[in-house]
Amino acid sequence: MADKYISQEIEPKWQKLWAESGLYATREDPERPKFYFLTMLPYPSGDLHIGHWYAMTPSDAAARYRRMKGYNVFFPIGFDAFGLPAEGAAIKHGIHPYTWTMANIERMRAQLRSMGAMWAWDHEAVSCDPRYYAWTQWFFLKLYEHGLAYRKFAPVDFCPHCNTTLAREQVWGEDRHCERCGTPVIKKELEQWFFKITDYADELLRFDGIDWPERIRTMQTNWIGRSEGAEVTFPIDMGDSGSGIGVQSADTAIPNTQYPIPGTDAITVFTTRPDTLWGATFMVLAPEHPLVEKLTTEEHRAAVDAYRLQADRQTEIERTAADKEKTGVFIGAYAINPVNGRRIPIWIADYVMVTYGTGAIMAVPAHDERDFAFALKFGLPIIPVIERPDDLAKSAVWDGSVPGDFGAALSAAGFAWEWLAIPDRGRFYAVTLHGDEQVRAYVALLQAHLKAGHWADVVGRGWQVVFHDGPLALDSAAADAAIMARCHAGYDYTRQFATSMSMWWAVEWYRNVLYHADYGTMIHSEAFSGTAGAVAKAQVTRWLAEQGVGKFAVNYRLRDWLISRQRYWGAPIPIIYCPACGTVPAPYEDLPVLLPEDAEIPATGENALKFHAGFLNVRCPQCGGAAQRETDTMDTFMCSSWYHYAYVTPYWKAGQKLRPDDTPWEPEAGNYWLPVDQYTGGPEHATMHLLYTRFFTKALRDMGVAPFAEPMLRLFNQGIILGPDGNRMSKSKGNVVAPDEWVERYGADTVRAYLMFIGPWDAGGPWNSQGIEGVRRFLERVWNVVAEDEGQASGGRSQGPKIAAQVRELQHVTHKTLRKVTEDIEAFKFNTLLAALMEFNNYLVKARETAVYGTSAWEEALDMLLLMLAPETPHIAEELWQRRVQTRRVSENPSGLFQAADSIHVQPWPVWDPELAKAETVILVVQINGKVRDKIEAAADIGEAEARELALASPLIQRWLEGKTVRKVIFAGGKLLNFVVS
């Protein structure tokens, strides 16, 4: 009675029966091991697209597999339902965000059901439900209580299109655009709420006990950007110039450091290279640095103000363009280099960021590329203080400075040199030297040949200018000045240069030895000269601490998480501002602070809460006086930082008064399910959601709320499905692929299996419907093989040795396939899993025509085929399984109704027999000099001697060996034999 495979009929049927039979009901069962399998929750934009299917259906397959393996699997779903698009729809179509969102959710629920996934709908959670965001607000209060939420006035990224501030993580790309709408962001000075994620920077760098992809760990590590170095304090030079520097002796708060220098005037810098301190020849402050105002002298104020203004006006793009010419101005003030007491000028320049480190740097132009460019441009001294590790030195000697026999003398002494022509300056001996010895010998030779009044330089190793009456080392700014004074006096050409280094920069041939940023032996550093590069940094840091001018310090690129959003459609920040009491948290028992439903969304895109008197005006919980609510709402990443906890007991304690000592989920259920065992989702959340949720969990642990430190033990990142044009799918590009039409045409099982089949799950790639037919054909062939078998289970009809061998082969193929499929699904290798099943099915199609048909091995093969298909294509597997079960009358079920216990999806995953999975024969590959010359069938356990014998019996091999001497034979474990001949 083999009828046709009509997916459109069986899929809705089984979805209904599964739901009705309670197959997916969640219950904590201490008898069984739990498995919390989580896939990233969707934003209810209105329609599921193919990317959701790509992310979710393989997850479902893996979750189903876990259940068949005997785990009590929790596979929940919900909606990340706050966010800007709802407000956009409100403005555009006049629908309230709540109505729009809930309608979308309703629509998406139906679409999600069509996947046939084992969602725990009984634990669905929607983040915009007041019963949900009551807890979002509860978490905020807890964080506030523990000093992890604070408000500060700071320059923040603001999206003019979305009309709201954004977290640093939500600003993307070189042009610093809004992650959501693509509009370039602007900087605004606003008072905003932050979460102190930086408190956990070090712990977030550790991934102990979690199995996360290398890629994500690297991205998070880079994002946190830990660097070790020292903080060094440079006193301001109060001495001369009497310039009436507007310095006040008030406490000076230096940005991003907890170490204001009370009662002194000093600049603290962060450096990763304290070993280069002796080469710090100037300082640079960020234009926004608070000390700039105080330190600028009257003489320079106009220029400084002008520079700060233009720096402020520049967009971030202009300012951070990598190849930008360095700009900056001197502010008239000087600092004292604490290691040598030298006076160094203070500049401001926009290449120093107020947001990183202390917003101020010591500039070591000889060993920092940016400082080098800056010093070159503004004629500031560049003094090398770290020896070149490669020993290289160069010296260009004008042929007019030495007698004509200089070249011969160089050659005789064994120095490598060649002629170098410099336009307008003449011909030079270009000498390349290696190491101190050579430099010393060379300098002596040069000295002996130099004509009176002439000189030549040695750059790189052993920096110096050799004058006819003796060399001058470039070991300090003073020495630099002395060198230049002699040069200026002796040769007009040099007057255009302020420093030795800029003079050398003019010689192209010198350029590659003038600057380096490597570690190396310290030079020109007083007592530290000679300190080896490997220990220099640590030794100097220790000494700085002893001297009281600096200390070991760690700096992070990570900033605190800005969570304020100037939007209506989010969870309100539960804070009240009272003119008398100040900032007052809303009492726990008043949660949730409800979003007013009657708010009008202003067409200007502003926050509706600001104009809603009923929301805004409130009594102060402390003094009872008139007060106002905070109108900003929370970043939606706050909602998704804890949704995996919400699923455990959705809307826990709804309607009850919340208390600070509550547990945000039903404790027993939480103890059973948490934490998440396997998480799957896109890699685009690496530095946002995936970092936030780790921070959040660590904070919960420290509050005593959660007994674990990581929210998700294992993570897998699937790839991203692009539009058919290879671009990221987006409505504006019109390349969004809707799964519904494909499901209608081919069925959910086909779409599921096709998405799993097209390639490795973590690869993603452009959607291409070519090939989906092949997967549908595969399922039809499965249908034909299995459905036509009904009633044939009567045992083998023929006997004998021939059929025994065929049966054994069938069993071998069956068990080998089971092994492959099991290994693949464990590793999320769905593409090769499906290929193995296709191969297996192709084999069965052929085997059906042989005597194995109807044997118990045949029946086992069909059962196994269905069990292996159940995770990937749940509907067809169930339909065919039920037909087989009924046929065999295994189920005593008088009602005839489907019972959950009979479902294929709760059958135990079969176990392969290693003996059967092993092949009896192999194709022995015979090579001559590594080239395949013959393939011979042999017993799987063949030994080397027999293999050799077999190979030598082959006429083909005999021909290749003719007239050759066998030098060596390599036998690779029953697979391959290689004759090395000559």
Partner RNA sequence: GCCGAAGUGGCGGAAUGGCAGACGCGCCAGGUUCAGGACCUGGUGAGGGCUAACCUCGUGUGGGUUCAACUCCCACCUUCGGCACCA
Closer residue to RNA, CB minimum distance, 136 or 555? 555
CA–CA gap between residue 711 and residue 705 (Å, rounded): 13
Of 87-95, 527-535, 592-600, 966-974: span binding RNA (CB under 7 A): 966-974
Which candidate, 634, 594, 584, places its Cα nearest to that of 615? Answer: 594
Tell which one of 71, 98, 351, 853 touches RNA (CB under 7 A): 351
Tell which one of 683, 701, 808, 859 touches RNA (CB under 7 A): 683
In the numeric block, which tokens belong to residue 238? 């109060």
Closer residue to RNA, CB minimum distance, 198 or 891? 198
CA–CA gap between residue 485 and residue 481 (Å, rounded): 6
69 to 88, contacts with RNA by CB under 7 A?
none
In the numeric block, which tokens belong to residue 584? 């007052």
CA–CA gap between residue 257 and residue 259 (Å, rounded): 5
Q: How far is the CB of 970 from RNA (least distance, A)?
A: 4
Using rule CB under 7 A, residue 270 touches RNA: yes
Q: How far is the CB of 948 from RNA (least distance, A)?
A: 14
String of contacts with RNA for each residue 536-555, x by CB under 7 A: -------------------x
Q: How far is the CB of 765 from RNA (least distance, A)?
A: 4
Q: How far is the CB of 509 from RNA (least distance, A)?
A: 21
Task: Give the sheet arrangement for strand 186-195, strand by strand.
Answer: 164-166, 149-159, 186-195, 561-562
272 to 311, contacts with RNA by CB under 7 A?
272-273, 286
String of contacts with RNA for each residue 208-237, x by CB under 7 A: ------xx--xx--xx-x-x-x--------
What does each C-alpha distance from 396 to 502, 796, 820 come to in angstroms?
Answer: 15, 95, 69
Phi, psi of 899 (to 5 degrees): -120, 140
Let me know: does 285 contact 346? Beta carbons within 8 Å. yes
Of 353-361, 566-574, 702-710, 742-750: span binding RNA (CB under 7 A): 353-361
In the numeric block, which tokens belong to residue 484? 């230049």
Number of residues that bind RNA (CB under 7 A): 86
310 to 339, contacts with RNA by CB under 7 A?
319-322, 324, 326-327
828 to 847, contacts with RNA by CB under 7 A?
829, 831-832, 834-835, 838-839, 842, 845-846
765 to 784, contacts with RNA by CB under 7 A?
765, 768, 770-771, 773-775, 777-778, 780-781
Tell which one of 557, 610, 808, 948 touches RNA (CB under 7 A): 557
363 to 402, contacts with RNA by CB under 7 A?
368, 370
Which candidate, 842, 913, 834, places its Cα nearest to that of 868? Answer: 834
Closer residue to RNA, CB minimum distance, 289 or 875? 289
String of contacts with RNA for each residue 627-666, x by CB under 7 A: ----------------------------------------
95, HSE (Cβ side, Cα atoms, 13 Å): 13
Of 5-13, 329-337, 523-531, 969-977: span binding RNA (CB under 7 A): 969-977
Identity at 979, one-letter amino acid code: F
Q: How far is the CB of 79 from RNA (least distance, A)?
A: 25
Which candidate, 585, 632, 534, 650, places its Cα nearest to that of 275? Answer: 534
In the numeric block, which tokens belong to residue 610? 């600001």
Closer residue to RNA, CB minimum distance, 104 or 927? 927
DSSP state of 468: T
Of 76-84, 171-179, 379-387, 535-543: span binding RNA (CB under 7 A): 171-179
785 to 814, contacts with RNA by CB under 7 A?
none
Closer residue to RNA, CB minimum distance, 707 or 943? 943
3-state secondary structure of 398: strand
Let me know: does 925 contact 973? Beta carbons within 8 Å. no
CA–CA gap between residue 897 and residue 900 (Å, rounded): 10
CA–CA gap between residue 356 and residue 360 (Å, rounded): 9
Closer residue to RNA, CB minimum distance, 547 or 768? 768
- Tell me whether residue 791 is exposed, middle or buried, using C-beta atoms within 10 angstroms of its C-beta: 0 to 12, 13 to 18, 19 or more: exposed
Let me know: does 229 contact 555? Beta carbons within 8 Å. yes
Q: How far is the CB of 872 from RNA (least distance, A)?
A: 13
In the numeric block, which tokens belong to residue 524? 């020109």
Q: How far is the CB of 583 from RNA (least distance, A)?
A: 30
Q: How far is the CB of 783 from RNA (least distance, A)?
A: 11
Closer residue to RNA, CB minimum distance, 604 or 770? 770
Q: How far is the CB of 305 from RNA (least distance, A)?
A: 19
**H or E segment at 220?**
helix 214-224
End-to-end CA distance of the chain: 66
914 to 943, contacts with RNA by CB under 7 A?
923, 925, 927, 929-933, 935
CA dihedral 328, 329, 335, 339 (to 10 degrees): 30
Let me know: does 645 contact 665? Beta carbons within 8 Å. yes
DSSP string, 96-126: -HHHHHHHHHHHHHHHHHTTT----GGG-EE
Of 75-83, 138-146, 352-360, 427-435: span binding RNA (CB under 7 A): 352-360
414 to 433, contacts with RNA by CB under 7 A?
none
Q: How far is the CB of 966 from RNA (least distance, A)?
A: 11
